[in-house]
Structures are given as structure tokens and as C-alpha cells.
């Protein structure tokens, strides 16, 4: 639409600068040191929502970080889109690996480098700017509600309760989310699913104190040796997970569905070169696309214990710890998988150690059917602005609240993400292409238009 293009091109620089301002706020939700910055970021999001034309915007306090909620209701008889995103970001460390400050955004080769550039400030901000485009040109097709939370990166612990307490207020026909990735700008795609998550922490304790590894070594269980062995036993020679019952509920795809999924453009050599690996590794019998999309996984995210300082210290440590995540697929239940893990992990501990297993946050997998009017509206919007039909893919990441939108609000979601897998989200030098940012702002109003039209309005 001409009016949208005109408004966007007239305000391009400001839209970019406002995003850079937001990226300067270190809204790290995991670290209490940044609590004030997180609150400041919520304020900045609110200001931008007001500027976008929302009639009401409120900062809703929670037991943790606040939720920013705004509305632009134009006509009760029109459909309503609930936009969801998050303004919190992952911690920036290891800092020494960044080429520029994580909270001092720079643009290099058309890419914005900063923590949160893609996940999710850059992406959620496209919706606020797209709303501004629609309101300022008097062309908003339907009602809009926007909810931007500050705890996604720490498991959205307080958002579930907020949903339960605000079912009527959050009533909508669809939830629209940009917090996922596309294959590439040449091959636009829409994720039609997300994996679930069960996140565990384990502690293995041997002797009641650190010991001299010469005096006691060989006679006393070393918790790090034991932990390494226990972790290694969690996969078999085919890289399948050995926890009894782990695969029982896994939804297997039909041969036809798998063929369809593998039609997505993917170059294994490019993939390996990009990651600096000589070979890929995963569950036998599945392709890389399947391993990251439709298969569950188990990975150690961190492991520690013993002496890791400079030089050598001969010590037989008292404790060893690890953080372990399992990505889940449809029908697996996060709580059940946590229990299976706990029982199994405790059962394989040898007599010389005690094992403590605790569960962190989790969430359920989701699939968004590609034949729904909402998905079709998203596909049509992509077709309009990219000139190509999007390829449906299955995303490997998790957004735990998406399953709750369905369970608590009864509302399905569409994952209209514009990130790229190599945007380094959660890594040093996170980036987001300026092109993708503008492309998102250009595409989103078409989703509103086509979604509204699919309701016969």
C-alpha cells in the first residue's frame, strides 16, 4: 500500500534511531544488577507504544519484571490481533568476545550489532513501528493489543499468572509474534512450530570435602569422573537418548511430512563451514533439519567443579555440577520429562556418590497449522512484500508462553519471525540486519489487512 510505503520511507531514520536507543538499555532479566535498567526499558517501550497511537498503555507490575500492555481498539466488530514480544535480553557475557559494546549498538555492513538487536527488541519493535505506520495513515485494519514482557529469557515465570488474571482483557482472535527466524531473505519462511523445554540442574557429591588427589585418589569416587560418565551414558551409540520412556509420547511425522520438511533449502556444507565444524552429529536416521525441528534433544549447557584456576592443583573435588536442557517435541510433557530425567539420573548414580536433581523452567512444544486463516494471512503478507511464497519450517527454539496462550486464553499464534539463524542470538556479536527490520515493518501491516479480510471484514 502506497501510504504505508511513504510513511515508512519518510520515517526510516527515526525508526532506526529509536531502536538503537532501546538497544542502549541493558535490560538483562536474569541479573538483578540490571533491575532498574529493565524497568527503564519498560518505560521506553511504553513511550513508543503511545507514540504509535495506542489509546491506553500501562506498565503492569509482576512479582518479577513488568509487562507493558497497550491497546488500539478501533471497532468492536472487527477482529483483534494480540501482539506478543519481549523487551528483556540475555546476559551479554563473555564480554571479551564482542567486537563492540553489547549495549552500544553500531551499524556495520547493514547490520545492527547489539544484545537484543534480533532477540527480541529489534523484532518486537517492528510491531510498534508498524502500528505507528497504520495509525498515522488512518489505515489500521483491525483492533490491536500489544503485550511486551520482561521475563521471556528467564522462563516467563510471571506471565502465566498474568494471562490467567486477564483472560477478558487479552481476548483476541490471534497472537502475532516475531521472535523466530527465517531461512534467508531469498528464501522467506514461517516457523510452524516451536520445541518445548525441560531444563535441569544436577549436583553429584562424593566425599564431604575436597581431598588430596594423591592421598585419596583411586579409592574414593570422584564426582567429576562420575558425572562425566553419567552424562555420557544419556546418549547411546546412535545418539538417541537413553532415559526410559523419553520417546514414548514423541509425535512421529509421516514419511510424506518428513519429505515435505526436507524440501526446505539447506546446504550442509555451508552449515558446517559457517559453524567451523568438520562433521555434523545427531540422532541416527534423521537429517539436520529434522534433528533441529522435529526431534527431541538433551544437551549439557554448563558443567563445573574442581579446580579451574591457573596452573595445576591436585584435588579430588567434593562436588560436580551440570545444567542440562532437553528440547521437546509435540505431545511430550515438560513436567513428565523432568520426572523421567530425575528418576533415571538418580538411578544410575553409583554407590559412592549422592545425586541431587532439580528442575528449572520448562515449557511445551507447539505446532501452528499451516492451513489456518491466520497462517495463510501471514503467508500472503510475505508473498506481498518478498514476492515469494514462504516455506513452512519447524523452529528449534522455545517460547514457553505460546502453549499457554492456547491453554489459558484459547488463542492460537502465528510466528512471523524475521531473524536469521546466524544472527548470534544469545551469543557474542548478536546482530539484526537493517534490511530485515524494515522488511518486517513493511510486512506486518499486510498481515493485519489479510487477517482482517479472512474474517470477511
- The catalytic residue positions are 88, 152
Identify what 361 binds: ligand BES, Mn ion, none; CB under 5 to 8 Å per kind: ligand BES
C-alpha pair distances (Å), 224 with each of 170, 215, 321, 354: 48, 17, 8, 12
Rounded distance between C-alpha atoms, residue 148 and residue 224, angstroms = 42
Cβ partners under 8 Å of residue 150, min gap 6? 27, 29, 38, 41, 42, 64, 65, 66, 67, 68, 86, 87, 88
Supply the minimum distance, in Å, between the C-beta of residue 327 and ligand BES: 8
Residue 179 in the binding site for Mn ion (CB under 5 A): yes
Supply the minimum distance, in Å, between the C-beta of residue 235 and Mn ion: 25
Choose, by CB under 6 A, the member of 71, 152, 433, 442 that binds ligand BES.
Answer: 152
Which range touches Mn ion (CB under 5 A), out of 112-120, 258-266, 275-283, 321-329? 112-120
Which CB, 31 or 210, lies closer to Mn ion?
31
Choose, by CB under 6 A, the member of 114, 172, 197, 353 that binds ligand BES.
Answer: 197
What sections of 262-308 are H helices per DSSP?
268-275, 288-293
Which range touches ligand BES (CB under 6 A), out of 136-144, 302-310, 376-384, 395-403? 395-403
The bridge status of strand 174-177 relative to strand 413-415 is parallel
Cβ partners under 8 Å of residue 355, min gap 6? 202, 203, 204, 205, 230, 345, 346, 349
- If you count DSSP H runs as helices and E runs as strands, how many of each does the chain have, helices first? 12, 21
Which CB, 144 or 399, lies closer to Mn ion?
399
Residue 151 in the binding site for Mn ion (CB under 5 A): no
Which range touches Mn ion (CB under 5 A), out of 173-181, 193-201, 236-244, 292-300? 173-181
Supply the minimum distance, in Å, between the C-beta of residue 229 and ligand BES: 27
Choose, by CB under 5 A, the member of 18, 71, 88, 120 that binds Mn ion.
Answer: 120
Choose, by CB under 5 A, the member of 88, 119, 191, 433 that binds Mn ion.
Answer: 119
Residue 132 in the binding site for Mn ion (CB under 5 A): no
Among positions 357-386, residues that touch ligand BES (CB under 6 A) are: 361
Which range touches Mn ion (CB under 5 A), out of 8-16, 105-113, 115-123, 166-174? 115-123
Greatest alpha-carbon pair distance for the chain in Å reads 80
C-alpha pair distances (Å), 196 with each of 20, 49, 250, 352: 31, 30, 12, 34
Binding-site string for ligand BES from residue 414 to residue 453, where x marks contact by CB under 6 A and - marks none = -----------x----------------------------
Rounded distance between C-alpha atoms, residue 4 and residue 11, angstroms = 11
Burial 18-34 (b: 16+ CB within 10 A, else e): bbbebbebbbbbeeeeb
Map residue 14 onto helix, strand or coil: helix
- Residue 207 has, within 13 A of its CA and on its CB side, a CA count of 17
Residue 153 in the binding site for ligand BES (CB under 6 A): yes
Supply the minimum distance, in Å, between the C-beta of residue 118 and ligand BES: 8
Among positions 10-39, residues that touch ligand BES (CB under 6 A) are: none
Which range touches Mn ion (CB under 5 A), out of 32-40, 54-62, 113-121, 214-222? 113-121
Size of the site for ligand BES (CB under 6 A): 17
The bridge status of strand 111-113 relative to strand 143-149 is unpaired
Binding-site string for ligand BES from residue 159 to residue 188, where x marks contact by CB under 6 A and - marks none = --------------------xxx-------
Choose, by CB under 6 A, the member of 66, 70, 330, 400 that binds ligand BES.
Answer: 400
Which range touches Mn ion (CB under 5 A), out of 25-33, 172-180, 319-327, 363-371? 172-180
Which grid coordinates belong to 302? 554448563
Rounded distance between C-alpha atoms, residue 447 and residue 438, angstroms = 15
Q: Is the dihedral of CA 279, 282, 284, 289 positive or negative?
A: negative
Among positions 342-361, residues that touch Mn ion (CB under 5 A) are: none
Site residues (CB under 5 A) for Mn ion?
119-120, 179
The residues that touch ligand BES, with contacts defined as CB under 6 A, are 119-120, 152-153, 155, 179-181, 194, 197, 361, 395, 397-400, 425
Amino acid at each position: 500500500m502506497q501510504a504505508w510505503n511513504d510513511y515508512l520511507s519518510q520515517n526510516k531514520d527515526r525508526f532506526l534511531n529509536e531502536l538503537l536507543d532501546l538497544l542502549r538499555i541493558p535490560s538483562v532479566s536474569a541479573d538483578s544488577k540490571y533491575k532498574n535498567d529493565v524497568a527503564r526499558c519498560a518505560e521506553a517501550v511504553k513511550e513508543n507504544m503511545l507514540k504509535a497511537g495506542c489509546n491506553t498503555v500501562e506498565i503492569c507490575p509482576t512479582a518479577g519484571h513488568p509487562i507493558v500492555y497497550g491497546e488500539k481498539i478501533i471497532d468492536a466488530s472487527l477482529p483483534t490481533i494480540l501482539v506478543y514480544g519481549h523487551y528483556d535480553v540475555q546476559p551479554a557475557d563473555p564480554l571479551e568476545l564482542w567486537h563492540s559494546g553489547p549495549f552500544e549498538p553500531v551499524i556495520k555492513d547493514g547490520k545492527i550489532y547489539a544484545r537484543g538487536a534480533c532477540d527480541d527488541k529489534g523484532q518486537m519493535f517492528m510491531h510498534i513501528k508498524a502500528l505507528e505506520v497504520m495509525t498515522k495513515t488512518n489505515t489500521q485494519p483491525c483492533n490491536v493489543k500489544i503485550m511486551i514482557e520482561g521475563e521471556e529469557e528467564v522462563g516467563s515465570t510471571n506471565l502465566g499468572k498474568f494471562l490467567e488474571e486477564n483472560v477478558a482483557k487479552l481476548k483476541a482472535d490471534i497472537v502475532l509474534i516475531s521472535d523466530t527466524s527465517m531461512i534467508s531473505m531469498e528464501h522467506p519462511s514461517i516457523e510452524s512450530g516451536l520445541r518445548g523445554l525441560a531444563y535441569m540442574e544436577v549436583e553429584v557429591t562424593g566425599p564431604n570435602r575436597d581431598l588430596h588427589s594423591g592421598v585419596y585418589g583411586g579409592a574414593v569416587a570422584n564426582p567429576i569422573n562420575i558425572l562425566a560418565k553419567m552424562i555420557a551414558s544419556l546418549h547411546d551409540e546412535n545418539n538417541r537418548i537413553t532415559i526410559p520412556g523419553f520417546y514414548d509420547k514423541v509425535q512421529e511425522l509421516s514419511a510424506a511430512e518428513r519429505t515435505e520438511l526436507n524440501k526446505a533449502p539447506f546446504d550442509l556444507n555451508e552449515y558446517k563451514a559457517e559453524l567451523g565444524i568438520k562433521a555434523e552429529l545427531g540422532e541416527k536416521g534423521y537429517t539436520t533439519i529434522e534433528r533441529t525441528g522435529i526431534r527431541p534433544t538433551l544437551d549439557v549447557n554448563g558443567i563445573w567443579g574442581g579446580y579451574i584456576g591457573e596452573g595445576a592443583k591436585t584435588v579430588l573435588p567434593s562436588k560436580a555440577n551440570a545444567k542440562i536442557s532437553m528440547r521437546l517435541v509435540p505431545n511430550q510433557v515438560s513436567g513428565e520429562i523432568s520426572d523421567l530425567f530425575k528418576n533415571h539420573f538418580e538411578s544410575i548414580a553409583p554407590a559412592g556418590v549422592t545425586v541431587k536433581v532439580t528442575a528449572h523452567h520448562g515449557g511445551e512444544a507447539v505446532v501452528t497449522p499451516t492451513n489456518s486463516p491466520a497462517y495463510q494471512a501471514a503467508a500472503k503478507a510475505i508473498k506481498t512484500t518478498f514476492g515469494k511464497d514462504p516455506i513452512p519450517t519447524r523452529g528449534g527454539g522455545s517460547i514457553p508462553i505460546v502453549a499457554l496462550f492456547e491453554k489459558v486464553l484459547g488463542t492460537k499464534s502465528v510466528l512471523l519471525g524475521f531473524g536469521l539463524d546466524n544472527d548470534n542470538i544469545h551469543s557474542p556479536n548478536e546482530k539484526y540486519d537493517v534490511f530485515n527490520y524494515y522488511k518486517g515493518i513493511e510486512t506486518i501491516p499486510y498481515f493485519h489487512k489479510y487477517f482482517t479480510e479472512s474474517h470477511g471484514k
